[in-house]
Structure formats: C-alpha cells, structure tokens
Structure 1
Amino acid sequence: MSEQSTTVRRGRGRRPAAEVRARVLEAAGRILLRDGLAAVTFGRVAQESGSSKMTLYKWWSSPGALAAEAYFAQSAPVLDFPDTGDVRADLVAQLTSFVRWLTEGAATPVSQLIGAAQIDPDIAHAWAERYSRPRRELARVRLRAAQEQGQLRDDADLDVIVDQLWGACYHRLLVLKVAFDEAIVPRLVEQALYGAATAER
C-alpha cells in the first residue's frame, strides 16, 4: 500500500482529542511494524493520520517516544491476558500469542525499539512507562489471581516467574539471536511453574 493511499484527509471541524490520538497511534504503529523505527517521523505520521505535526510535538517528546506508545497500542489487542481459571493454560495461551506476534513481524521493530532505548532517554522512558511496565503488571495480576486461588505457592516470586517466561524470549531474540517459535512455550511454562529439581528436592 502506498503512503499516499494511507493518508487521511482532514475534515472540517475539530475532532475530539481522544480520536485524534487514536488515529495517530494507529498510523505510527502501522508504519513501525511495516517499515521499522526509522520510518516513524512526525511528518510521515502526521500525513498518514491526518493530523498536524504541531499536535504530535505537543503530545510526544520525540518520534521514538511516539513509536514506543504506538507499539503498545498495536500489541495490546493481540497480547490480551486470558483468565480461564487455569493458570498453566492461560500462560501457554498468552506466551504463544507473544511468540507468534514476534515471529510473524514484530521482532525487528521490537529489537530496534529496545536497542534505541539504550541510548535515547525519551525512548527508554516511553518504552518502560508505556509498554514494558504495564505489560509486566498485567502478567503479575494474572499470577496473583492464581496465587489467591491456590494454584501457585504463597511464597512464589511473581516477578521471577515473569522474568523466566518473557525474559527467555527476549534473551533469545536480542542476546542469542537464535530462531525460536511457539513450540518452546509449553516447556517454558512447565519450567517456570514446576522447576527442574527432582521430586525429592
């Protein structure tokens, strides 16, 4: 699809701020996932969303900060956290969606965003506040519910479980740079929930 064909025409009258923001995030997310972080500029996003660059400068400190928030908006519907009452099944379902999301197109923009966050304070702040911390809390909420239902030990460290599951995926993607797919998910969940020790230990 050409850039021109995705440009939104500005209509008459002022649109509600929430609608404008949603259009901007949708356009920025589409550009990010399709063309990468470098393609997310205020000029291009303004053109594709039918907004003004002035509006974007008012709401986001940089195009990178906009890209980080747009990534959260794009991924949120895909990475919804189910609660069926079975914590193992829900972890497998959510982590499978996460791995599939990465391997079917999001791996490159995620790598670019995390890499840029190491040297750009605006992106680092936006990535932490608009994506990684909110997503981590969603996982902790689901695990806490399982804890209250007796599916996890009272002394289980929920943050460590999150690190084991999603951290393993990021490690393979960003550090080891090896291919992986959703087949790994059940093993990750089994390891995080039940460990590697023998029954006697």
Structure 2
Amino acid sequence: MNNVSTNEEAASGRRGRGRRPAAEVRAAVLAAAGRILLRDGMQAVTFDRVAMEAGSSKTTLYKWWPSPGVLAAEAYFARSERALEFPDTGDLRADLISQLRAFVRWLKDDGADKPMSEIVGAAQMDPVLAHAWSESYALPRRELARQRLRRAQEQGQLRADADLDIIVDQLWGACYHRLLVLRVPFDDSIVERLVDHALHGSAPAAGR
C-alpha cells in the first residue's frame, strides 16, 4: 500500500490530526466515491471531486487507481457489501429469497441500477475497467453465492451433481438481463418465483 502524499500529510496536519493512516484514507476515498456514484452517476466520479469530498489529495488517488472508472467499480462493491451480505440460517430457500430481495431492492430502491448500468456499459470498451469490475465486484459476489450453495449441497439440500454456477446465473443473471438487456421494469415481487424455478425447475411434480 502506498503512503499518502506530502500534500495530504500537510492538509491533515492543518486539521490537527497528523498524518492519517493509509487504510483510513482509502476508506474515506471509497466512501466518498460511493456517495457520488449513487447520487450523481459514474460521470460525476472524478479524481478532483472525490479528493475534495474525501479530504484527500488527487495525487494519492492517481497512485491507487488507474482511472476514475476503476475507482467507481471498487467503490460500488464497498458501498454494496453490507447491503448484500449473504445470510446462512440453514434454510436455503429462505436465504436465497432474502439475499436476492436485498439485491433487487439495492438496485431499484437504493438507486444502484443506474451506476451499475453505466459501469457495465463503460467496461465493454475499457478492458482495464472490465477487469476491475470483474475482480472487485462480479467475481467476489458470485463466489459468496457459490459458497452458500456449496454448504447447502454438503447438507443435502441440493443434489450432489447440481451445477452451482448455473443456479447463480438463473437467479442473479435474470435480474441483470432485465436491467441491462431488456430494460424492463421489475421489483422484488419476482424473487420467490426466481428462487423456486432455480431450485425446483419447471417440470410437473411427477416428472422432477
């Protein structure tokens, strides 16, 4: 981890706090970037604006992130992490419904749908941003779901040969498809149906 810049140390000294630890500075920057991203969209996440809101130096941001887009991607994950925690009560269906409902509400009620669409769209033309989005958000989120499904599999709540990646695609992929491709309205009323189809399929009961 890089040290904070000389300018930032001087600014911190003027506030009477001394030099802030790098971890504290990074957390403040991510928090500021996350607020700006959700409030005003990806284009508003500039190093100048984030540095000003975080009380940091722009030089520090340039050291830690190759572009404002990459900063926005990491800030999105940091902002969503607590809202999208994955429960494990022992009841797989209830936990999937709870988590997926939180995900849909994060998108539709908390305003994350617009910045997510903007980041994903920009990532199609920016391989550095695409890698950052995958590494800092998409893959970690996917692995959390896989871990919960794997525990259910070990407990006999899913077949031993169940394809966990396909289940993840069915659940969260359906939301991304509606949001990014079809661009149709949806809300958390779809959640229970998504979960039941993913866990039980569409075949008649006798044919399952």
Q: TM-score range by the shorter chain?
A: over 0.9
Code of the aligned partner of 2:178? R
Structure 1, 49-58 or 11-20: larger mean CA deviation: 11-20
Q: How does 1:82-101 map to 2 (within 5 A)?
A: 82-101=87-106
Q: How does 1:123-162 map to 2 (within 5 A)?
A: 123-162=129-168
Code of the aligned partner of 2:47? F
SS of aligned partner of 1:24: helix
Residue segments in structure 2 that go unaligned for 5+ positions in a row: 1-10
Cα distance in 1 between the residues matched to 2:138 and 2:31: 19
Q: For 1:179, which of 179, 185, 206 is the aligned residue?
A: 185
Deviations 1:37-96 (A, max 9, x none): 000000000000011011000000100000000000000000000000000000000000
SS of aligned partner of 2:199: helix
Q: In the alignment, is residue 108 of structure 1 matched against residue 88 of structure 2? A: no
User: Which residue of the partner structure matches residue 6 of structure 2?
Assistant: none
User: Which residue of the partner structure matches residue 8 of structure 2?
Assistant: none
User: Which residue of the partner structure matches residue 60 of structure 1?
Assistant: 65
Query: Could you state the TM-score of these two structures normalised by the residue count of structure 1?
Result: 0.94
Deviations 1:127-172 (A, max 9, x none): 0000000000000000000000000000000000000000000000
Runs of 4+ in 1 over 2 A off after TM superposition: 9-12
Q: For 1:75, which of 80, 83, 91 is the aligned residue?
A: 80
Cα distance in 2 between the residues matched to 1:77 and 1:142: 16
Query: Could you state the TM-score of these two structures normalised by the residue count of structure 2?
Result: 0.91
Residue segments in structure 1 that go unaligned for 5+ positions in a row: 1-8
RMSD: 0.9
Code of the aligned partner of 1:33? L
% of aligned pairs identical?
72
Number of aligned residue pairs: 193
